[in-house]
A and B are shown apart, each in its own frame.
Chain A
Amino acid sequence: MLNFILKRLAQSGILVLVMSALVFVGMYVVSDPIAVLAGEDFTEEDRRVLAQELGVDKPLIVQYVNFLGNVAKGDFGTSFVYNRPVLDLILERLPATLEVAFMAMFIGLVIGIPLGVYSGLNQKKPTTKAISFMTTVGYSIPNFWQGVLLIMLFAVWLQWLPASGRGDTTEIFGVGWSLFNLDGLSHILLPAMNLAIYKICLQTRLARSGTQEVMYQDYMTFARAKGIGRDRLIRRHLVRNILIPIVTITGLQIGSLIAFATVTETVFSWPGIGKLLLDSIHNSDRPVVVAYLILITLMFVSINFIVDVLYALLDPRIRYT
């Protein structure tokens, strides 16, 4: 296991380095920050001064090496547009995205797994057919349109929940969270639901196919033959065994939820990180984009790592060397 962790850390380091280089080159190729930032009345001289200020007048390789040196000192650079440290910008908005993503994942798991296990156990019931129909529908609705529908239903007609914004936040460890007060909760519910609907469908299907497979395993028949009651059979014998594929997919999904919640954040005006990314790409704000993507890479790597460790905990047959 220790070996596995060390190997994983080394791999992650290389991965992050390669990623940063790719993003750096990519941003350099697709846009020129001077062209975006310079006013119409800028002279050649003004442009040169601006380029010097931003540090984009040097050759790409020099810029990259400087960037790496600064990162090593904990400095991800300063935004071209906002003229503030990039890390501050990102950390300001990350909690909003994190909490909506985790909330969505939580809803997905808590509703999806029981629905899936139920459908797997009662394959012929009409309720199962209905669930299967609903998951197909949930899969196929476009995310932005679904968001608009949710706003129409819950915010406009029923007027139960606010349509946009983040509401009140509670300070914990110097960061504002919506989850811990009622107004915040009412604001997070709609965007979280919008993200969660797809996850619910996915988890339902995973849990259902897992249940159908595990149910016919010899150890399930033997456990029944031992005289184990239905509750315990499902809780201990079945659910433990179907969790592995669910953990895999959940890991992948959390990553993409955080990284690509942009559509939902836009529809619900949620002040998360997705919107910052879009704006920064638009404005050629290279330091923000690069730092953001490096952070996301780090996050994916650590989520995958956690997933691998969870495997070993869930299935004693898996041991890493």
Chain B
Amino acid sequence: MSELIKVENLTIAYPMADGEVFRAIDNFSMTVSRGQIVGVVGESGAGKSTIGKATLGLLDENAVIDTGGVHLDNIMVSHLEEHAQVEIRGNKVGYIYQNPMTALNPVLTIGEQIIEAIEANTNKRGAAARDYAIALLQQAEVPLPEERLEKYPHQMSGGLCQRIVFAIAICAKPDLIIADEPTTALDVTVQKAVLDTLVRLTRQENIAIILITHDMGVVSEMCDYVYVLRHGKLVESGPAEQVLQHPKQDYSRELMAAIPRIDHKVERFAVPGGLGQVADRERAIAYLMGRQTEAGEEGQPLLRVRNLSKTFETKVTALKAATSFKAVSDVSFDVFPSETMGIVGESGSGKSTVGRLILGLHTPDPGYEIVYRGREISELKTREEKLAHRKSFQCIFQDPYSSLNPRMSAGENITYPLKAHGMLGKEEARELAGDLMELVGLPRASARKMPHAFSGGERQRIGIARALSFRPDFIFCDEPTSALDVTVQAELLNLMKDLQDQLGLTLLFVSHDLAVVRQMCDRVMVMKSGEVVESGPCDKVLVDPHEAYTQGLLAAMPRFEFAPVA
């Protein structure tokens, strides 16, 4: 079998503002043969996508290929002129983009976007191109393909958009498909269906795939061969099973250990979690413990939710009657002190809406009951009562990039709410901000830095410190790690477990990731279309589920089934 793709000593550099050079890819080599599925794995910033872009000549304008290059069928494709690149793109190499919702042009119809690719890369024109487009959509398992041609991307789900992107990528029967995180934006059940389609199509046509991903589960299910990257350098490569099961390098071992597993629960992830100065940490904990409030009695639920429903309505118009959509339907649950309760479900299941309802960001439909520390929260009337409730009831948001005020330093972000309520002086606030930074594993000196100077994981730590500053008893966590890399996620989950142990926090943890929930939660509630499908201890629900829906979710999860690395 001849080599289809040969990357040789590839080094790609970006000049930076300070005159230094940043090497996105550093002396990297790899080969891909026809019909092979090769995984390129690594965390964000590892340079995975850069390899794909170099193959297609889609690098940013300021990128410089320092050494080496990419050969396709013994032609050096990474250095071709733009017009020669156009011949290769779509024709010999298909590309599948990370986020299907943004990969399609929002103002053009699906039909136009498929047909233009067909006309650019094959000799089919007009009606023939249209017929072929319909055939491709059928192949990619898009239901009602003819109708879809007239539709726009926003009228379709992410899974459908990704199938359309597949159809475009395979339209000219390319030799190679580069799939850049093809399923990251999709739900697990959709992910499974989409990956199955991709594998089937490529096996049928004997197409090689370079699969760029951070998801080891996907790699272990799909790939023949794996390259592990870190900071643009090759860490390790080999047959998928060997690399995932017996990684030779420290970094690969760490990466595998950081993957949350569904099949058994670990106490802490085996990652070197950054912890702060002991003295500062202890001071912060002493401060927080000193402000302990009555966190509810053992055996009594701290939070009690009954008959929670939420209906969103659209207004009546001249042509349409009012429509209503029930996002949450009759949800009841209890959260007991010091436990972690999980809510899992796919997008649209209503799990985040439940959180927004109990946070008071939406008003539930009448007839509900939300009791916190023995008091119905809608009956909190005075300012003091409301403030006391909010202090005790905090949240951590999904997106660490938009949940911090970009014009305040990290320290100010942490203590601003306290200062706003006049609960702290300036000096005390600075002291506390520093202590809390150390508590969440960030150096206290960095409290002066602005949010943009921190990485996503660090920002999420700041978000946790901010939630802690009030000394809450209860923290609502809305997908707190879904935007983060797997090792960063592992560190953060370790941190949250530590804090929970030290402070006796109660957590309500919303996630789409069953494995993360398995690692974090004591009990779990599975939601689908606004309703609770089943609930119970994680050991039961996520191991031996009763309901078919939960069983389906578990079956769809890509399994990372190699022996744990101690």
Contacts and interface: CB of A to CB of B under 8 A. Distances in A.
Q: Are A and B subunits of one complex?
A: yes
A220 to B, nearest CB: 8
Contacts of A72: none
B87 A218 contact: no
Contacts of A237: 105, 108
Given A227-B117, A236-B116, A240-B108, A222 B319 contact: no
A82 interface: no
Contacts of B86: 227-230
A229 B317 CA distance: 43
A219 B164 CA distance: 13
A156 B78 CA distance: 58
A221 interface: yes
A241 interface: yes
A237 B113 CA distance: 10
Interface in B132-166: 152, 154-155, 165
A315 interface: yes
Contact of A2 (B95, B154, B318): B318
Contacts, number: 93
Interface in B87-113: 87-91, 94-95, 97-99, 102-108, 112-113
A226 B177 CA distance: 11
B168 interface: yes
B194 to A, nearest CB: 17
A217 B97 CA distance: 12
Given A224-B89, A316-B106, A321 B315 contact: yes
Interface in A204-260: 217-219, 221-230, 232, 236-237, 240-241
A315 B106 CA distance: 7
B77 to A, nearest CB: 13
Contact of B102 (A1, A218, A232): A218
Interface string B306-348: 0000000011011110000000000000000000000000000
A317 B315 contact: no
Interface string A177-194: 000000000000000000
Nearest to A214: B105
A274 B143 CA distance: 60
A221 B165 CA distance: 13
Given A241-B105, A315-B106, A317-B154, A232 B116 contact: yes
A128 B120 CA distance: 30
B121 interface: yes
A1 B116 CA distance: 31
A226 B90 contact: yes
B267 interface: no
B152 A317 contact: yes
B107 A240 contact: yes
A219 B104 contact: yes
Contacts of B89: 224-227
A223 B86 CA distance: 11
Contact of B97 (A3, A218, A236): A218
A223 B105 contact: yes
B424 interface: no
A237 B91 CA distance: 20
A230 B95 CA distance: 18
A222 B106 CA distance: 12
Given A226-B90, A241-B105, A316 B154 contact: yes
Contacts of B433: none
Contacts of A30: none
A224 B95 CA distance: 10
A94 interface: no
A226 B112 CA distance: 13
Nearest to A123: B61
B318 A3 contact: yes
B80 to A, nearest CB: 13
Contacts of A6: 318
B154 A321 contact: no
Contact of B56 (A225, A228, A229, A315): A225
Contacts of B117: 226-228
A316 B317 contact: no
A259 to B, nearest CB: 32
A281 interface: no
B106 A317 contact: yes
Contacts of B108: 236-237, 240
B58 A224 contact: yes
B250 interface: no
Nearest to A221: B58
A1 B105 CA distance: 24
A314 interface: yes
Given A230-B82, A240-B108, A317-B154, A222 B318 contact: no
B103 A218 contact: yes
Contacts of B88: 227
Given A3-B319, A227-B121, A317-B154, A219 B102 contact: yes
Interface in A1-43: 1-3, 6
A229 B87 CA distance: 9
A218 B165 CA distance: 12
Interface in B481-519: none
Interface in A99-121: none
Contacts of B165: 222
B64 to A, nearest CB: 15
Contacts of A1: 319
A80 B112 CA distance: 61
Contacts of A223: 105, 113
8 contacts: A222-B95, A223-B105, A224-B58, A226-B89, A240-B107, A241-B106, A241-B107, A321-B315
Interface of A: 1-3, 6, 217-219, 221-230, 232, 236-237, 240-241, 314-317, 321
Given A225-B95, A225-B97, A317-B154, 16 more contacts: A219-B104, A221-B58, A224-B56, A224-B58, A224-B89, A225-B56, A225-B58, A226-B117, A227-B91, A227-B117, A230-B82, A230-B86, A232-B116, A236-B108, A237-B108, A321-B317
Ranked 4 nearest A-B pairs via Cβ = A227-B90, A225-B95, A218-B102, A227-B89
Interface of B: 56, 58, 82, 86-91, 94-95, 97-99, 102-108, 112-113, 116-117, 120-121, 152, 154-155, 165, 168, 172, 314-315, 317-320
